[in-house]
Structure 1
């Protein structure tokens, strides 16, 4: 059974194999603590993988608490965000959320080699970056309408999960839990991996800034190297135990990497 039981809509075309589109761009990062800018090269590449036989994920390890680097919350330059938004056809708020999360994970867990295009691939498959069904992603990372997955009532394709009090507050169902937000986190997963991605003092799975950072923490929790095909596949499979899901995220992430050049 998947640790991340919520399953988003599978919207991207399935692939058997995919090429790796490696594009490097210079991002101007603004340190949130020192105010000093640094130029950092971010490789926008996703690994080649067949996504056929998904490996079994090992138990999640704890993400190191606290960030000691002065770049504790690096931010992608607005000019870069605007350029990527135009090239990819993805809203600026979504591009910023994915890039900022990947840059922060790069400070905290550099060996993971998480790229922002991987988060973008997941965000598209889960909720079309918060726009599924005519919804709208607002500038603060929240959506115009709440995003709720189906009731996790044990019916075909979903687990049976009872909600806690906080979960019922989030989605209104007293009987069954639902995945919530643009990255589709269930309550128990959010309780462990949820975090404040945008520094507003609130950890909110309905906010893409927070959810993208939490997704990065989750993907990197088991020590996978996402610069390798096997590591990337295993990490995404751990997020949702479905080969079809992994293939869809791969196709989308590779498309974004190609277009970002």
Structure 2
């Protein structure tokens, strides 16, 4: 996977840099009853406190509580990545719609081998997502390469499609990707998982800083 803003970062050693508060999932409030779900009041309150669009809060928290990841992953980690990758689908003045899609599609730059970029030829499957028949692009608010998305695609909002441009799906897919090597129950495991998005200490620090800030703001 290649970060959407990956050209801002450079390869650096893998280090253990996260405090425990980063990898311990922040609380999520749910309704009670036969079919428990996210508490809409909690979603609204968390959006107001953190500045994260409510559809993004919903997407990240649903990915945490649904168990789709296969490990104990916090919504604030997904929010940290979502901020660094695309400002929660609002990059460059976009808005995030109620259905989890951005007002215009988010595409990473062409991976054409120029300085700072890998050279990855487009595949037919990738072209179907980004429209470039020559070079590959990362796609959507969580910036998946199409080949990576094919292996982790999830219908996070159960609307019948698995769409990397839909943050509900993309957040669920990112959760699955991060948990691919097992539980994130230590700072070392958390850091290694985040660095699969971008092998840069600066990137992991930015994600950790955002995740910690969101956890603090959500707690009030």
- Structure 2 residues without counterparts, runs of 5 or longer: 10-16
Q: Does 1:252 align with 2:210?
A: yes
Q: Quote how far apart the aligned CAs of 1:239 are.
A: 2.2
| Displacement of 1:79 | 0.8
- The answer as to whether partners of 2:25 and 2:76 remain within 8 angstroms in 1 is no
RMSD, matched Cα: 2.2
5 Å-filtered alignment, 1:206-221, equals 206-221=165-180
Unaligned residue ranges in structure 1 (runs of 5+): 39-74
Q: Which residue of 2 aligns with 1:83?
A: 45
Q: Which has the higher strand share?
A: 1
**Equivalent-residue separation in structure 2 for 1:206 and 1:258 (angstroms):** 28
Q: Any idea what SS the aligned residue of 1:27 has?
A: coil
4+ runs deviating over 6 angstroms: none
- TM-score, normalised relative to structure 1: 0.74
Q: Which residue of 1 aligns with 2:55?
A: 93
| Cα distance in 1 between the residues matched to 2:52 and 2:69 | 26
SS at structure 2 position matched to 1:181: coil
Q: 1:254 to 1:163 in 2, by over 3 A?
A: same
Q: Any conservation in 2 of the 1:147–1:180 contact (CA below 8 Å)?
A: yes
- Contact in 1 for aligned 2:19/2:187 (Cα 8 Å): no
Match of 1:27 in 2: 29
Task: Name the TM-score, length of structure 2 as normaliser.
Answer: 0.87
How far 1:25 moved relative to its partner? Answer: 4.0
- Per-residue CA distance 1:144-169 (angstroms, 9 max, x = gap): 11100010112222221111112112
Partner of 2:74: 115
Q: Distance in 1 between matches of 2:125 and 2:47?
A: 34
- Residue in 2 aligned with 1:231? 189
Q: How many residues align?
A: 210
1:181 matched to 2:178:
no
What SS does structure 1 have at the residue aligned with 2:30?
A: strand
